[in-house]
Amino acid sequence: MASDSSPAPFNNGPSSPDDSLSSPIGNTFSSPAADNSRRNRRRGRSTTPSAFATPPPPQSRFATSESTPTPQRSRSIPRQAAVSTPSSASEGLPSSEGGDDMDEATPTFVWGTNISVQDVKSAIHMFLKHFRDNNQSQGTEIFEEGKYMKAIHRVLEIEGEWLDVDAHDVFGYDSDLYTKMVRYPLEVLAIFDIVLMDIVSLINPLFEKHVQVRIYNLKTSTTMRSLNPSDIEKMVSLKGMIIRCSSIIPEIREAIFRCLVCGYFSDPIVVDRGRINEPTVCMKQECLARNSMTLVHNRCRFADKQIVRLQETPDEIPEGGTPHTVSLLMHDKLVDAGKPGDRVEVTGIYRAMCVRVGPTQRTVKSLFKTYIDCLHIKKTDKSRMLAEDPMEIDNGSRRMEEDVQFDEVKIHQLKELSRQPDIYDRLTKSLAPNIWELDDVKRGLLCQLFGGNALKLPSGASFRGDVNILLVGDPGTSKSQLLQYIHKLSPRGIYTSGRGSSAVGLTAYVSKDPETGETVLESGALVLSDRGICCIDEFDKMSENARSMLHEVMEQQTVSIAKAGIIASLNARTSVLACANPIGSRYNPRLSVIDNIHLPPTLLSRFDLIYLILDKADEQTDRHLAKHIVSLHFENPEIAQQDVLDIATLTAYVSYARKHIQPKLSDEAAEELTRGYVEMRRRGNFPGSTKKVITATPRQIESLIRLSEALARIRLSEWVEKHDVIEAFRLLEVAMQQSATDHSTGTIDMDLITTGVSASERMRRENLVSATRNIIMEKLQLGGPSVRLLELLDELKKQSSTSEVHLQDLRNAVATLAGEGFVVFHGDSVKRV
């Protein structure tokens, strides 16, 4: 016994009597040594031929173990994950549930069940040795090691302490084993550990660490709310948020006592059923003093333990409820794996523990405290949709834990949904269903949610995939509600109001850390909404300075900072959704968009879609509104909105599409795109008109590509089809027709957006200038007396009866002439020089 308790150095050869694979579960199965060795032999026979890659097991092992029976709980390998230690198992068990009386059970069956230990053992063994990922080709199968054998080798190399086992793999390989594992986790996991240690010691007999199995990714995950007494002692998987972590609690595993009389040190005493039995008599034959043993703290073995409180995530809480919480018990490496505020997915065993009336009393209340013995913890993402996004160009930093899985059922559902012919319309309807009409705006917003493909050319040029949208409209047209809705839906996003945002608040700023005095970079709204949507309300009320910061963000998608010794370029791959009120709060249709919104054209051209949401005095719309509100008040509102996807499905659909669908342009679509673009450009040339109106710019074709890609994504299609392109053109045109209509010619005029002045307006001004010049040439002598502007105006009106001339226009024209040095312009009088 003494040699057993001493650590590794003895364990230096294959023939060492020390048995490093002694069962960590001790006598849970109370297998007599003979039985144990019989099992070993059996396993040896069955597995050795198949395990090519593993080093042949040392023959002497079996001889040894046959001759020297494996000492029971000899080394007491610190299997601290209390799950499988019989001691803690019985401690936590409700006395009624049984399960702790294994000593009397037949050795080959798990107590109280018909599960044969040998069967489970061999099943696990087969699984670990032979499981291969499905996608490995059949031909190479026999020559390659199984997935978990590789993993075990890796664990050995890095001297890890655990092996992660995907429960899906277990299910795929042996669904029966999976069922047993979930139903009787305590027993099956203990066997799992034994088998694993067997394998480990076959590969490297010198490996002295204890490797544990950690199961994760169960087939079904329960909600905290649905945990009920029938789940006790079963393996469960839960999602939640950590709200509180206790400090680390040292838990005693092995105690050593010393005799106060003779100084004799006792053998290590292992925790048995949650308590240490203090020896009452000194073991030393010569001493045998009574009640003389005292605990030697610094020779005891302790393990880390931590109690973590997990709370339901907000989306699982039903209406009118408060979140439920559950305690988690973390051991060893899992301690401090999560911090308060983290969203995690936990796999563990649901346990119940009797509550003692008092700490010293053995009587228990009829109550149980429940907790989860944690096996595996996985941090999940914070946001609803995936923040990890296919728009990501450099996918080097993809983190595993953020990889939210869609299970097959869900994927199937989503695909089924996508096959519906009216999916586009349904999604449109489902977007902010309480805002009626504005269908085209919603379609645009849908495109923004789905997004296009970002592209990075080898040359370094990059094209953004994010669609930027600007909504301009009259007050009370539910722009803000749309914004709020998108903000709620978007993967990651910041909602700011233009009035309250400064340039640095939007981008990034440098500040001094109050404690260290170092300069640190603090991210602003746009950087924080990287790969999301940044919603900016009241865009028009934003300061000039702040707006100018958006130029870089909206095309290059970076934020560059050069301040206080920090020169940095931060990613801000964000879609911008902005909304603005027209100048003078109500849209003046006689003015151009630029005049109405008063935004710099450079910024305006960076929006893919600019929607004008105008409150037209239209009886039809009014009636619609009236009907809507009357039905809201008097009818059952549920009837009004059938056939609408709920927000959860919608987000799942969007995130699935963003993650998995990377549409490419089909040849046909590309052709259509070229044709449409040429058509758009040509439309500016009126037959028989000399003036040229630019109707489309290269920026527009980029927008069109993004939009058609987003439209393909909506259908979960890998190819951009012709009709996507046509719809994209339609969307652009709908937006443009509203925003870029030149009100004097009625054609689409991109100049209006890019310079703020339409081509025809420019032409009119030129005409006016030349007409004025002619009049001045006629009427005024060089150096002669000056003329009042009003007189000039009269003259002009006489000459050109067709077009109306305003004093302001004339003033501008004269100013232009003055700039040429043709006249001198003073107050109201004009003098030719």
Partner 1 sequence: MVGPPYDCLANPLGAVRLTFEKAIGSGSHPSSFDGKDWGTVDLFRHFLFDQSHLSQVPILNLATIRWIQPNTLVRFRGMIQDMLGNEFYVGAYKDGSVWRTNKYMDFSQFPIGSSPGSRVWERRLLYCVPVPGINSWAESASEVAIDGCMNWTSQQRDKRGRMDFEAMDAKDFPVSGSNFEDSPSAKRMKEDGQDYKTEAACSGTTVVSEIDKDSFPCLVKIYDSPESELKLNDVFEFVGVLTFDSEIPAEKGDHDEFCNDYCDDDLVHLPSSKVPRLHCIIHRKLAAHDFLHTSPIIEQKPHWVKDVRESLLKHLTDVLGNDGVAAHYMLLHLLSRVHSRVDNVAVGKLSLNITCLSKESVSVFGTQLSLAIKNLLPFSTCIPLTVEYLSRSSLAPKKDYQTNRLIPGVLQLAEGSHLIIDETQLETGTLNSVGVDNARLLRNLIEFQKVEYDFTYYKMEMTADVQLLILSEGKSNILPADIIMPFQPSSVGSSEVVATKALEAWRWYLATVRSLPHSIESEMQKVVEDDLVAARQTDRSIGSQDFSRWLTMGRLISSSFGETSLSLEHWQMVKELERQRRERLK
Residues found near partner 1 in the complex (CB under 8 A): 94-98, 225, 227-230, 232, 241, 243-244, 246, 249, 307, 309, 311, 314, 317-325, 327, 329, 340-341, 352-353, 355-359, 363-371, 433-434, 476, 481, 615, 617, 619, 622-623, 625-630, 632-634, 636-637, 640
How crowded is residue 30: how many other Cβ atoms within 10 Å of its Cβ?
16
CB closer to partner 1, 255 vs 728 = 255
CB closer to partner 1, 18 vs 373 = 373
C-alpha separations of 765 from 692, 790, 820 in Å:
15, 18, 15
Give the angle subtended at the CA of 120 by the CAs of 75 and 175, to the nearest 5°: 135
Q: Which residue has the tokens 């509600």?
A: 481
Give the nearest distance from C-beta 620 to partner 1 in angstroms.
9
Give the nearest distance from C-beta 133 to partner 1 in angstroms.
37
CB closer to partner 1, 155 vs 186 = 186
CB closer to partner 1, 82 vs 768 = 82
C-alpha separations of 814 from 540, 641, 774 in Å:
32, 61, 12
CB closer to partner 1, 476 vs 687 = 476
Kindly state the tokens that stand for 50.
């198949």
Give the nearest distance from C-beta 641 to partner 1 in angstroms.
8
Give the nearest distance from C-beta 258 to partner 1 in angstroms.
25
Give the nearest distance from C-beta 737 to partner 1 in angstroms.
23
- Residue 230: which of 102, 347, 94 has the closest Cα? 94
What gap in Å lies between CA 94 and CA 230, rounded to an integer?
13
CB closer to partner 1, 492 vs 681 = 492
Give the nearest distance from C-beta 68 to partner 1 in angstroms.
36
Helices 647-660, 408-419: crossing angle, 10 deg rounding? 90
Give the nearest distance from C-beta 552 to partner 1 in angstroms.
32
How crowded is residue 736: how many other Cβ atoms within 10 Å of its Cβ?
23
Q: Where are the beta strands (DSSP E) in 131-248?
A: 162-166, 212-216, 235-245
Give the nearest distance from C-beta 762 to partner 1 in angstroms.
34
- Residue 24: which of 210, 215, 214, 250 has the closest Cα? 210
Give the nearest distance from C-beta 638 to partner 1 in angstroms.
9
Of the CA atoms within 13 Å of residue 487, those in its CB half-sphere come to 18
- What does DSSP assign to residue 120? H
The string over 238-256, giving b where at least 16 C-beta atoms fall within 10 Å of a residue's C-beta and e elsewhere, is: bbbbbeebeeeeebbbbbb
What gap in Å lies between CA 465 and CA 451, rounded to an integer?
6
3-state class (DSSP) for residue 135: coil
CB 111 within 8 A of CB 99: yes
Give the angle subtended at the CA of 476 by the CAs of 448 and 636, to the nearest 5°: 85
Identity of residue 602: T
CB closer to partner 1, 357 vs 568 = 357
CB closer to partner 1, 4 vs 342 = 342
Give the nearest distance from C-beta 404 to partner 1 in angstroms.
18
Give the nearest distance from C-beta 76 to partner 1 in angstroms.
22
CB closer to partner 1, 19 vs 342 = 342
CB closer to partner 1, 311 vs 596 = 311
CB closer to partner 1, 227 vs 776 = 227
CB 386 within 8 A of CB 120: no
CB closer to partner 1, 90 vs 462 = 90
CB closer to partner 1, 324 vs 660 = 324
Give the nearest distance from C-beta 308 to partner 1 in angstroms.
10
Give the nearest distance from C-beta 250 to partner 1 in angstroms.
11
Kindly state the tokens that stand for 247.
């400090």
Give the nearest distance from C-beta 245 to partner 1 in angstroms.
10
**Can you list the alpha helix ranges (DSSP code H) found in 520-618?**
525-528, 544-555, 593-597, 601-604
What gap in Å lies between CA 89 and CA 190, rounded to an integer?
11
CB closer to partner 1, 340 vs 819 = 340
What gap in Å lies between CA 535 and CA 552, rounded to an integer?
17
What is the enclosing helix (H) or strand (E) of 56? none
CB closer to partner 1, 363 vs 690 = 363
Identity of residue 69: P
What gap in Å lies between CA 692 and CA 682, rounded to an integer?
10
Rg of the chain over all Cα atoms, to the nearest angstrom: 38
216-223 — which CB contacts under 8 Å span 24+ positions?
A: 216/164, 216/165, 216/166, 216/167, 216/347, 216/375, 216/376, 216/378, 217/166, 217/167, 217/168, 217/347, 217/405, 218/167, 218/182, 218/347, 219/167, 219/168, 219/171, 219/178, 221/345, 223/312, 223/316
CB 87 within 8 A of CB 270: yes
CB closer to partner 1, 230 vs 397 = 230
Kindly state the tokens that stand for 527.
């950087």
CB closer to partner 1, 162 vs 371 = 371
Q: Which residue has the tokens 């009336």?
A: 357
Give the nearest distance from C-beta 297 to partner 1 in angstroms.
17
What is the number of residues in the chain?
833
Give the nearest distance from C-beta 226 to partner 1 in angstroms.
10
CA distance from start to end of the chain: 119
Give the nearest distance from C-beta 511 to partner 1 in angstroms.
18
What gap in Å lies between CA 145 and CA 154, rounded to an integer?
12
What gap in Å lies between CA 790 and CA 809, rounded to an integer?
12
Kindly state the tokens that stand for 493.
């996003």
Helices 647-660, 698-714: crossing angle, 10 deg rounding? 120
